[in-house]
Structure 1
Amino acid sequence: MAPPETLDWNGLRLDGKTAVLGIIGDPVAQVKAPLPLTRLLQARGINAVLVPLHVEAANVVPLLQTLLAVRNVAGIVVTVPHKQLVADLPLQVLRAAREAQAVNVLRRKGDAWEGDLLDGAGFLAGLVRNGFDVKGRSVGLAGAGGAGNAIAFALAGAGAASIDVCDADVAKRDHLVGRLRALGHTAGAWDAASPRDLVVNATPAGMRPGDPLPIAPSAIRPGHTVADVIMEPHTTPLLTLAEQHGARIVRGRHMMDEQLEAMADFFAEALQ
């Protein structure tokens, strides 16, 4: 029997007209978005697939330049640790990406890339869905990288009373704190040990077995909320500890789930 021109696996289409989206990171084995975003796009009638691409930092720029020559590559999802690196490239970025100085989605605009940042809005929506109202609350944020910047500005925009930040890179921490203050938000350095209404891990710590806790147990209080951006493992050691302390937890998967529709909307312009 001759093979079909279009392959269909559980309703998914893959053929010569399929547009390709890539998700770049280092590592990339932990990403969960490829299948659900592919399903969502195809449910909208858009013939596209999202595939993982393991890319080290030194190769990000040449890869993005090369992919512009591949005419059926329509966009890129950017994950750890490349979000700030991509934001520093000479490309057009939308408001959220410009404000946070990080990019997690790119779409083709002719012979160039256009970038945006959906992490912050996705994280905030995940909190709301889990019953946490940010307005007037104190926040302790571990991580001043791409995800941390996105989350900080989203929480500030939603009315957080204060956002205190810790990062092993003090210059990155101070840079984020300074930009928050410049926009009129209350922000400062955090020791990752004093309690806050909302405690957020926006670092990769907890992704690998044996990683140290990004936040001290003393920062967690019963009835407070602890959120993690890590999607694999599903429940990180930090979240396990938070549950043991009687805190409410918000898993990293919630941020991705809330972003999927926004990602589909973002890429649809380049795919239709």
Structure 2
Amino acid sequence: MRDNDVERTASLIGRLNALGRGEARSADIAAKADAYDVVVNASPLGMRADDPLPIDVSRLPATTFVGDVVTKPPLTPLIEAARARGCPTVTGTQMFGRVCERMVTFLLDAGR
């Protein structure tokens, strides 16, 4: 996990680890990009046209699953670069849609 805001990164890592479903940690992905099966950009990088890519996609194997939580633009430079390498991807818009579906299901089930 990497963000350009160190405090926000530490806060998110703490919240994710509190869930007890695995270990979240900050990593220098540039040093070992080929060691990850899943890479997700959960930072604001990619919202502005002049943002750098959050990772060097050229080092990712085509088998790495790449996600980006950024919803605007719908197709971020990270997702475009990952798709060009042949990586399977999920966009922020797709993630948001799934969250909305789950919220509706939860609310409907709760009302029964």
TM over 0.5: yes
Consecutive unaligned residues of structure 2, counting only runs of 5 or more, are none
Shift of 1:248: 1.1
Contact 1:226 1:247 in 2 (8 A): yes
Contact 1:220 1:226 in 2 (8 A): no
Match of 2:22 in 1: 185
- Are residues 1:237 and 2:77 paired? yes
Distance in 1 between residues matched to 2:94 and 2:48, nearest whole Å: 20
Distance in 1 between residues matched to 2:103 and 2:13, nearest whole Å: 28
Distance in 2 between residues matched to 1:215 and 1:260, nearest whole Å: 28
Shift of 1:178: 4.4
Q: Secondary structure of the residue that 1:264 maps to in structure 2?
A: helix
- Percent identical pairs in the alignment equals 38
Distance in 1 between residues matched to 2:79 and 2:52, nearest whole Å: 13
Bigger helix share: 2
Counterpart selection for 1:174 from 10, 16, 33:
10
- AA at the equivalent of 2:5: D
| TM-score of the two chains, using structure 2 as the length reference | 0.71
Distance in 2 between residues matched to 1:182 and 1:261, nearest whole Å: 22
Shift of 1:217: 2.3
Compared CA separation, residues 203 and 173, structure 1 to 2 (3 A): closer
- AA at the equivalent of 2:27: W
Distance in 2 between residues matched to 1:182 and 1:236, nearest whole Å: 29
Contact 2:58 2:85 in 1 (8 A): no
- Are residues 1:264 and 2:104 paired? yes
Q: Secondary structure of the residue that 2:66 maps to in structure 1?
A: strand
Distance in 2 between residues matched to 1:231 and 1:264, nearest whole Å: 20
Larger RCO: Structure 1 or Structure 2 (Cα < 8 Å, ≥ 6 residues apart)? 2
| TM-score of the two chains, using structure 1 as the length reference | 0.33
Match of 1:228 in 2: 68
- AA at the equivalent of 2:95: M
Task: Decide which structure has the larger Cα Rg and report it.
Answer: 1
- AA at the equivalent of 2:102: A
- AA at the equivalent of 2:47: M
Contact 1:166 1:191 in 2 (8 A): yes
Consecutive unaligned residues of structure 1, counting only runs of 5 or more, are 1-164
Shift of 1:267: 6.3
Q: Secondary structure of the residue that 1:166 maps to in structure 2?
A: coil
- AA at the equivalent of 1:215: I
Counterpart selection for 2:40 from 196, 200, 207:
200
Contact 1:230 1:252 in 2 (8 A): yes
